[in-house]
Amino acid sequence: MSSISLQGLHHVYANGHVGLSNVDLDVHDGEFLALLGPSGSGKTTLLRSIAGFVQPEGGTLCLGGRPVAGPGVWVPPEKRNLGMVFQDHAIWPHWSVARNVGYPLRLAGLPRKDAEARVRSVLGLVGLDGLGERAPAALSGGQRQRVALARAIAGAPQALLLDEALSSLDEPLRARLRLDLKALTSEQGLTSVHVTHDRAEALALADRVAVLRAGRIEQIGTPQDLVRNPASTFVASFVSDAVLLDGTWVEGRLELAGGISIPGERLDAGPCVGADGLGHSAVAVTAAVSPMDLVLHPNNAGDTGWAPTGVVTSALYGPHGFDVSADWQGRTLRAHVTGWVPKPGDRVSPEVLRAHVFASDAVGPAAGAARPRLVPA
């Protein structure tokens, strides 16, 4: 059964801003769903609708099969049995850790002994064993966020809602809490919805990721789906930082400016591009190339089939190689470089290992119609 089910959820704010536009979504029992999207895409409105802080104008919302919002139905936030964690942890500074964590249990009228045992147990689950009597001021930022998490799960909520819950933490604390959160939610079978701006975090944590744009779900899928089969140029560039290149689809090949050609076996084409009848005539297309699928060869590496060379404009070192930007024919290419040390001014020959091709009219909000499929090599 779906823990959280939305049908046609719709909300326009009083100022005319569209918060949600006919959103359908099912979050399964025990699933970890991340909501990802640019600022203003509706992530917070969606999360706050589930929590009950926003009353949607239209559509239906069910929790555990029970309608909580819809025509003639409204269940207030405190009656929804949800746990929430916010970016700024929002714990009471003048209460001990144990008192903070036990607050929802006291509200629910749990006997004192049972509440104390539950508080000890959830403090153990979040890695705060023995810190119940501490004052929040005597904790680190990461520990305070663990207190907020413990409080959110203390009452055995139907689902856990996380609103940029890790965003205020610095690396490597954030990476550590990310791992612990993943372990905790899967061990406890907690249905979780996590709003984040951070692509890497969404891909690392979630069973599925919903990519929002202008109040709609542009694509929902596993992290692998979104990276390997983006439904639109928007998803490719937002999720994988793909570069978009205009070209022409001719006889199963992609022709780019300057007489550069990418063979069909390196392309994943949407059906409107590769369908019979279109494949034999020239069609304007947009190719999305992720930095992982673009190789920048030092210029002395010989002919790669990409005749014009580019020039490195920036090379940022990281633990797994360099993130490189290069100017190529007036466009900025992005690639992940390993095996040599690039520096600004170096000349490079780009080679596309793989590109997703979309019909040019698929660029934009209607792009969800373009469903890429793999062209077998």
Ligand X SMILES: Nc1ncnc2c1ncn2[C@@H]1O[C@H](COP(=O)(O)OP(=O)(O)OP(=O)(O)O)[C@@H](O)[C@H]1O
List of residues contacting ligand X (CB under 6 A): 13, 15, 17, 19, 37, 39-45, 197
Beta bridge partners of 331: 328
How far apart CA 194 and CA 188 sit, in angstroms, is 16
Of 43 and 151, the one with the shorter C-beta distance to ligand X is: 43
How far apart CA 375 and CA 377 sit, in angstroms, is 6
CB of 86 to ligand X, least distance (A): 12
Of 43 and 178, the one with the shorter C-beta distance to ligand X is: 43
CB of 11 to ligand X, least distance (A): 8
Of 19 and 132, the one with the shorter C-beta distance to ligand X is: 19
The CA radius of gyration of the chain, in Å to the nearest whole number, is 24
- Answer whether 44's CB lies under 8 Å from 91's CB: no
How far apart CA 193 and CA 364 sit, in angstroms, is 27
How far apart CA 6 and CA 21 sit, in angstroms, is 12
Of 42 and 372, the one with the shorter C-beta distance to ligand X is: 42
Q: Other CB atoms closer than 10 Å to residue 282's CB: what's the count?
A: 12
Q: How far is CA 312 from the centre of its chain?
A: 29
CB of 290 to ligand X, least distance (A): 23
3-state secondary structure of 144: helix
Of 153 and 202, the one with the shorter C-beta distance to ligand X is: 202
How far apart CA 368 and CA 337 sit, in angstroms, is 31
How far apart CA 102 and CA 83 sit, in angstroms, is 13
CB of 15 to ligand X, least distance (A): 5
CB of 214 to ligand X, least distance (A): 8
Of 210 and 245, the one with the shorter C-beta distance to ligand X is: 210
Give the DSSP letter string of 160-175.
EEEESTTTTSPTTHHH
CB of 326 to ligand X, least distance (A): 30
Give the list of residues 6+ apart from residue 153 with CB closer than 8 angstroms, or none: 83, 122, 125, 126, 160, 184, 188, 190
| Strand 18-28 versus strand 2-12 pairing type | antiparallel
Of 37 and 221, the one with the shorter C-beta distance to ligand X is: 37
CB of 242 to ligand X, least distance (A): 21
